[in-house]
Amino acid sequence: MAYFDAASAAPLHPVARQALLASVDEGWADPARLYREGRRARMLLDAAREAVAEAVGCRADEVAFTSSGTRAVHSGVSGVLAGRRRVGRHLIVSSVEHSSVLHSAEAHEADGGTVTQVPVDRAGAVDPSAYAAALREDTALACLQSANHEVGTVQPVAEVAGACRAAGVPLLVDAAQSLGWGPVAGDWSLLTASAHKWGGPAGVGLLVVRKGVRFAPQGPADERESGRAPGFENIPAIVAAAASLRAVRAEAAAEAVRLRELTERIRVRVPDLVPDVEVVGEPERRLPGIVTFSCLYVDGEALLHELDREGFSVSSGSSCTSSTLTPSHVLRAMGVLSEGNVRVSLPPGTPAEDVDRFLEVLPGAVAGVREKLGAPTATVLRHEDALVVDALGKLCPLPVIELAKVIGEVPVGGTVRVLADDEAARLDIPAWCEMRGQEYVGEEPAEKGTAYVVRRVL
């Protein structure tokens, strides 16, 4: 089985496994105690903190260990917003942040705060000038990921951090996907990360708060981790997380070159091997191991199951997955195709042979899913100079499939109205028009669902 979902969770690094087992016997005691076992546990915890600080590029006393990356984000956002409440209650985030950041923003808004979402381009990157323009006198905090978890696009953190620093606004960087590859550049104020993204054990997050940042931990007071992460530290897991971070960093330069070659092979070959594919994300400024593409006329869940049967574990941001009926917020913000979406994220050490076999299997898997989905037909009506496709009650990608079948039946300049009640159609029909060179006119009200109007150009 080839595991191609490292962006969700990287396999446990061998160094992490060794460190975890070794520290189970040495780091079980309370590091706050002064007896021998407590001092030994404190030494392990302090050494792990020093190692992480060196990797991040900060002071050891700026590092707090949390129970997860999500917990680190929630604590970081709430702590700064509370600490800077006198400044104001305005929060800035990008539209493609991890859900932990967006959920924090929703909670802040529900509590009476204001939130500005900075948009991204079709590659998933923010414009630093848009962040600068969003800054206000009452801005308490800005958040920006170092790299996107779904499409691999690297964000201009240094430029955004410079604009925030000039305005006196702290910037929180979610570095979960990138920290294993190197430190985050720029004059940022807070940083969060998660050990299971770089091959450490799950259940260890990082919250780094630079000196001078106004920070008020929320919730009941606790003496552990400077009050920023309540509860007894999981020292064996923390030691393993620090050891694996140091190990992957030592391997990062060479492994990045190798994985970039493998992902570039996928980016170039997939459009040649599979018709009607859109490769998404920034082609150059991207993480080494992530490549994402979307296939027209394909059910994402069916494709993932087919690839799983062929021995490949991949992920998807498609609207057609078991966990959601709406497209990924990242793909939606980018305005790209969501149907048949596949994210390949290669863990370090992935053999080139596995990538070659994936490229051999993929065309047949896509063709098989398309063949199964080609059978259903929608009701097509002619209304004056337009065709009306009734795709009500049909889930993605069927509305787009039916649109593609009939677009040739209208003259150039004529229109097709697609009636659909699947939310994914709002993203996928405009994306289909972009790929096919047709004109997306817009939405019109309908008795049921929504009418999506497309004008034939070609």
Residues 151, 449: Cα–Cα separation, whole Å:
30
Residues 236, 17: Cα–Cα separation, whole Å:
10
Question: Which H or E run contains 167?
Answer: helix 157-167
Helix (H, G, I), strand (E, B) or coil at 223: coil
Residues 6+ apart with CB under 8 A from 436: 404, 407, 458
Beta strand 2-3 with 312-313: parallel, antiparallel or unpaired?
Answer: parallel
Residues 6+ apart with CB under 8 A from 20: 201, 236, 237, 239, 240
Chain-centre distance for alpha carbon 433: 25
* 175 and 194 Cβ atoms separated by less than 8 Å: no
Q: Which two tokens stand for residue 104?
A: 């924090």
* 397 and 339 Cβ atoms separated by less than 8 Å: yes
Which residues does residue 454 pair with via DSSP β-bridges, in sequence order?
416, 440
* Alpha-carbon dihedral angle through residues 88, 94, 97, 103, given to the nearest 10 degrees: 40
Tracing tokens 């091959």 back to the chain, one arrives at: 199
Q: Which of 164, 320, 396, 433 is catalytic?
A: 320
327 closest CA partner among 335, 336, 317? 317
Look at the chain and count its residues.
458
* Residue 391 backbone phi and psi in degrees, to 5: -110, 25
Chain-centre distance for alpha carbon 138: 28
Residues 44, 239: Cα–Cα separation, whole Å:
7
Tracing tokens 């552990």 back to the chain, one arrives at: 224
Q: Active-site residue 433, yes or no?
A: no
Angle at 196 between CA 194 and CA 198, to 5 degrees: 85
Which residues does residue 3 pair with via DSSP β-bridges, in sequence order?
313
Asked if the peptide bond before residue 14 counts as cis, ω within 30 degrees of 0, the response is no
Angle at 23 between CA 21 and CA 28, to 5 degrees: 115
Catalytic positions, please? 320
